[in-house]
Structure 1
Amino acid sequence: MAREVTHEERGPTVLDESDMGDDDLIYVCRCGLSDTQPLCDGSHNATADEEDGVVYKYANDDADGERREIDEIVYENE
């Protein structure tokens, strides 16, 4: 499975001790759906039933948004 996510930020986020959870770990989002980017908020749970080999788009890059399959990702500069 894969996901198309739109990113608008142009720079890095600096993480520090204030970003640590109760277990002294920092969880970074890899699914692209977290509302607390770059930190994980558990939104990846919405991806549990995605199928391998399929590209998905979530409406508004929101885990609660409508999920649809897309044929391919088209880049604006192509």
Structure 2
Amino acid sequence: MSQAAPEQAAEPAMEPRQRVKDSTHLKRALNGMSALMQTNLSEPALDLCLELLEDWVSPKALANIVLRAQEIKRTMNKA
């Protein structure tokens, strides 16, 4: 007969904002993904984007704003 696996205590449900804000591991992982994808977002900029997303800002609209801001910055650096 097989034995049942011991029950593990379920983690209490947390709001996404609390998970990202309070999880050093998750923040480090997101910063790593950002660097891997070459988003050119600083850690404070990425944190701000995450806060905006947690406050239900449209991801597509936020992405468009970030891309436009990066485009303007590149243009200004060439001048």
TM-score by length of 2: 0.23
The structure where helix makes up a greater share of residues is 2
Q: Which has the larger radius of gyration?
A: 2
**Higher relative contact order by CA 8 Å / sep ≥ 6: 1 or 2?**
1
